[in-house]
Structure 1
Amino acid sequence: MSNILTWIIFIPFLSGLFIALFCNNFWSRIVAFGASIFVAVLTVVMTLSFDPAGGMQFVDIISLVPMYGITYMVGVDGINIYLLLIVALFIPFLFFVIRRDERGFWANLLFIESGFLAVCSSLDLIFFYAGWEMMLLPIFVMVGLYGKSAKRAKAMLDMMYYAIFGSMIMLGAIIYLGVLHFEQFGFYSFALNDLANLNLSVMTERILFFSFMIAFVIKLPLFPFHMWLSRAYTYSPSVATFMLSAIASKVAIFAILRFVLPIFSLSFIEFSSYFVALGIFSMIYFGIIALRCDDFKTLLAFASASHLGLILAGVFSLDSIAMSGAIYQIIAHALTSGAMFLMVGIISAQLGTRKISQLGGIARKAPVFATLFAIMMLSSVGLPTTIGFVAELLILVGLFKTNLVYGIIATTSIVVGAVYMFVVFRKAILQSVGVVSDKFKEIRAAQMIAFGLVAVIIFVMGLYPKPFLNLVDNTVQSHYEKYIKSNLKGQE
């Protein structure tokens, strides 16, 4: 068990290399599916062995460049346990939903999985940065090779420009932290535990804090760093959009909790109210834009960004309940948003359009599909009994405790989200059958099973959240006591 996390991270990468070098199109899908199932089983075993009160677990450390303190260091606690589980379980799920035969596609998918698992496990900033960059390149390649839209190249280049801009600023901050550690302690280190002990001046901490946050708000994205969002999500193939929405955006939230809060605690507290306000504003702003969208995929892109604004508000609320809710909302958003993007991909593949104004009546042609989509949508808007309701409730409770005004505005903005989701469901799924929608066919049995399992998880985690929240509560409470509460008392 001591090396299980390393196996989980590198099995997809090695399998992807094997597929790219030795497999034909037929065997590539089989090998990729087998590797993803093996990783999923290992991740489930690791999760079942995880002790919620045990702190950082399954730690693996390998010194790579000792002279400069560059180390392979990974571990699992309540902050990333669900992210790892989401990545590991969602990849096999895609094999039931997507029909592709190209070996490059499946090899690339495994490279993406390995990058996500690496960045979500990292306890060292250099290794984190390597994973941060690695998870982008395969997505870029996938869009370029397997996307159908002629506008996909420009859309992904726009995304890469934004991402590289943020990443370069963050890399400079990471290197500076390593140099500061050398100056203060006599040796280079980029390990989280070492960097959390740095003595930073107020101005230095503020500059480094924002150097990290720029990269993360671009990845989410938040206003005003969202200009790449609609084009990248709209013109990417469904699987790439799924990866960006369900997983990549969550990595930024993870990184804030894992690195920013421990290393820059004072700046995190000092600017928390601004990021709560930015998150709530982004919720409303993206929700209003979604109301005006006619492209189904573009609407979901802005709906996704709106929910991520709520998650960020929960993270910066300075309340442990809202922080736990933010992590739970990460799971909820990954399940619902990811599934809806894939279902819109099915609509587009069958009908050749995603225009909401051209759709309608899909429920009559494919009642099972419509029912499953309705479940995802209802969880997205926070219907009681679903996971989305539990997550939103926890965040709102924390926001009301922190600031009454923030709580009221956040609650109102959730209503805006419910409005545009109900409107699009009525127009695209329920209303009378149009000429275009008349050709829509019910989804395959494998797709029914796959989306049905997601629906079951949505209700199970919504009806009985206690055992799932137990996995994160101890870590969140520990972070709150150590990095937030203690510093708030020091400011009194």
Structure 2
Amino acid sequence: MDVSYLLILLLVGAFATYFSGDKLASKVALVFALASLGMSVYILNLFNAGQNIDFLSAWITQPKVAFALKGDGLSLAMVLLTSALIPIIIYSSFGNEYKNAKSFYALILFMAFAMTGTFLAADGLLYYIFWELALIPIYFITLIWGNGDAEDRKKAVVKFFIYTFAGSLFMLVAFIYMYQRSKSFLIEDLYAMRLTVKEQTWIFGAFFLAYAIKIPLIPFHTWQAKVYQKAPAVGTMLLSGIMLKMGLYSVIRWQLPIGRFAAIEHKNIFIGLGIAGVIYGSIVALRQNDLKKLLAYSSLAHVGLIAAGAYTLTLDGLRGAVLQMIAHGFVVVGLFLIADIIYRRYQTRTIGEMGGIRQQAPKFTSLFMILVLASVALPSTFNFVGEFTVLFSLSQINMGYAILGGTTIILGAYYMLKMFQQVMLGETNKKAFADVTFNEGFSLVAIVAVLFFFGLYPKPIVDLITPSIEHILTFINRTN
């Protein structure tokens, strides 16, 4: 079995979900999502056993494009993140009702198909196609099933679509230029190209525009908070938990090895941008009274630190960035699920209108508190492993970077604990707050279990991703 079977399963699942009808759509989608998780684990076992799981087939003759999929430790780690989160996201949505549910859940699986393809693609044009396909489902999920005024929602999602699409066009131009030089889109051929410093700088910049918008990094973040706020809970989880990881993954997989001279020469600039995002996101989060916007800016701060780690061009930096990507994916999905559960009970996201939930929902309170502590990198949680490794890599470059990057822990602890206090403690809201239902509790417990397991024993993921990162570093550090 190769990784193409996983894409086929997700695509078939999307169509099967659509044709199953509104009543069965959520259950059919969940079955296919769980099947994709099982297949991902099976493919991982094949990979660990030394079997070839790559797929390569001629696709387009002119220009020469291959349907090339590569399953290495790095790509499989991101595929497993996607495969693990999609069932949780779908199952957690069972507490909401959606009009035209068959389309809603089909779009979720189609988005999972596109994101998985992005992580596996080993041909530049195929990668670009998957990258753009992932935009379509989230556009419609936010536009049709989003929150608030329809006109405001439309403005936010159109800005997001145009902004990200425009940035991606620069990446496409870079791929076309490289194809003219190498007559190939295959990733190993692009890695092996002998480009001048000037050529690499332009290509690096083209990639940066696409990735900085998707992640997002400041000053390319202006779409994020509004879209996170307007998207339905499922849309926000997909965006924050998985989709932004496409940009961070692509920095490591595509941008750094191909534009290595530019990455080395301008390293301090991009580390600085990442750290600036940490400080900016944290300060703006302190001032938010909307729970989803607070979590959006908190996410901006965390991904800024991840990007800073990746741009250190060190083994610890890249490895820490990947570990933190996975940890952030789980914890941010859990936090946005928390926000959705509160909205289901109170029909508000305004922090000032909440309070006293702890007295009515002790199970919910405990799970929420664990996720808050994981978000601020409490030792023994997965986030601590990732953040510590990234901060250690920054200290190898400059101790000042590590100190400034560490503000994400200090400021994060302040605004997250303050938010928890305002939402959960104090006087009881006049509305009753029921404790978590079975599907809400199961989804949150599954996330918490992952965060503690890999927080205490990260070795399986470290062993999985390290050889791939070392392979990429050999291209970054070569002298010619």
Q: What is the alpha-carbon distance in structure 1 between the residues aligned to residue 85 and residue 104 of structure 2?
A: 16
User: Share of identical aligned residues, percent?
Assistant: 30
* Counterpart secondary structure, 1:63: strand
Q: What is the alpha-carbon distance in structure 2 between the residues aligned to residue 486 and residue 61 of structure 1?
A: 27
- Cα-to-partner distance string for 1:330-361 (whole Å, 9 max, x where unaligned): 11100101111121011112211011111111
Counterpart residue type for residue 172 of structure 1 = V
Equivalent residue for 1:450, pick from 443, 449, 454? 443
1:265–1:57 CA distance, 2 compared to 1 (3 A) = farther
Root mean square deviation, CA, Å: 1.6
Contact 2:29 2:90 in 1 (8 A): no
- Cα-to-partner distance string for 1:65-121 (whole Å, 9 max, x where unaligned): 123111111112122222101111211112321124611111111111101111111
- 1:459 paired to 2:460: no
1:217–1:57 CA distance, 2 compared to 1 (3 A) = farther
Residue 104 (structure 2) aligns with: 105
Residue 192 (structure 2) aligns with: 197
Contact 2:77 2:461 in 1 (8 A): no
Q: What is the alpha-carbon distance in structure 1 between the residues aligned to residue 426 and residue 126 of structure 2?
A: 51
Residue 120 (structure 2) aligns with: 121
- Cα-to-partner distance string for 1:178-236 (whole Å, 9 max, x where unaligned): 1121xxxxxx3111011112221221211111001111000011110111111100011
Residue 7 (structure 2) aligns with: 9
- Cα-to-partner distance string for 1:296-315 (whole Å, 9 max, x where unaligned): 00000000011000000110
Equivalent residue for 1:269, pick from 256, 261, 264? 264
Residue 180 (structure 1) aligns with: 181
Q: Which portions of structure 1, spanning 4 or more consecutive aligned residues, are displaced by more than 6 angstroms?
A: none
Equivalent residue for 1:229, pick from 224, 233, 237? 224
Q: What is the alpha-carbon distance in structure 1 between the residues aligned to residue 56 and residue 478 of structure 2?
A: 30
* Counterpart secondary structure, 1:72: strand
Deviates more, 1:398-407 or 1:98-107: 98-107
How many residues get paired?
A: 474
- Cα-to-partner distance string for 1:132-163 (whole Å, 9 max, x where unaligned): 11111011011122123212111111111210
- 1:212 paired to 2:207: yes
Q: Give the superposition deviation at 1:57.
A: 4.9
Q: What is the alpha-carbon distance in structure 1 between the residues aligned to residue 91 and residue 14 of structure 2?
A: 19
Q: Give the superposition deviation at 1:446.
A: 2.0
Q: What is the alpha-carbon distance in structure 2 between the residues aligned to residue 466 and residue 30 of structure 1?
A: 34
Q: What is the alpha-carbon distance in structure 2 between the residues aligned to residue 285 and residue 407 of structure 1?
A: 16
Residue 46 (structure 2) aligns with: 49
Q: Give the superposition deviation at 1:18.
A: 3.2
Q: Give the superposition deviation at 1:479.
A: 2.3
Q: What is the alpha-carbon distance in structure 1 between the residues aligned to residue 292 and residue 428 of structure 2?
A: 20
Equivalent residue for 2:255, pick from 254, 260, 266? 260
Residue 246 (structure 2) aligns with: 251
**What are the residue-to-residue correspondences of 1:319-338 with 2, within 5 Å?**
319-338=314-333
* Counterpart secondary structure, 2:62: helix
Equivalent residue for 2:33, pick from 25, 32, 36? 36
* Counterpart secondary structure, 1:62: strand
Contact 2:30 2:91 in 1 (8 A): no
Contact 1:149 1:236 in 2 (8 A): no
Q: What is the alpha-carbon distance in structure 1 between the residues aligned to residue 382 and residue 290 of structure 2?
A: 27
Q: What is the alpha-carbon distance in structure 2 between the residues aligned to residue 194 and residue 278 of structure 1?
A: 30
Q: What is the alpha-carbon distance in structure 2 between the residues aligned to residue 448 and residue 120 of structure 1?
A: 30
* Counterpart secondary structure, 1:73: strand
Q: Give the superposition deviation at 1:23.
A: 2.2
Structure 1 residue runs of 5 or longer lacking an equivalent are 182-187
Residue 93 (structure 1) aligns with: 88
* Counterpart secondary structure, 2:148: coil
Contact 1:73 1:122 in 2 (8 A): yes
Q: Give the superposition deviation at 1:425.
A: 0.8
Name the TM-score, length of structure 1 as normaliser: 0.93
1:57–1:309 CA distance, 2 compared to 1 (3 A) = farther
Residue 154 (structure 1) aligns with: 155
**What are the residue-to-residue correspondences of 1:307-326 with 2, within 5 Å?**
307-326=302-321
Residue 62 (structure 2) aligns with: 67
Residue 405 (structure 1) aligns with: 400
- 1:483 paired to 2:478: no
Contact 1:79 1:257 in 2 (8 A): no
Q: What is the alpha-carbon distance in structure 2 between the residues aligned to residue 270 and residue 262 of structure 1?
A: 13
Contact 1:57 1:77 in 2 (8 A): no
Counterpart residue type for residue 181 of structure 2 = L
Q: What is the alpha-carbon distance in structure 1 between the residues aligned to residue 461 and residue 204 of structure 2?
A: 31
Counterpart residue type for residue 406 of structure 2 = T
Counterpart residue type for residue 10 of structure 1 = I
Contact 2:260 2:477 in 1 (8 A): no
- Cα-to-partner distance string for 1:465-484 (whole Å, 9 max, x where unaligned): 1222111122222322x134
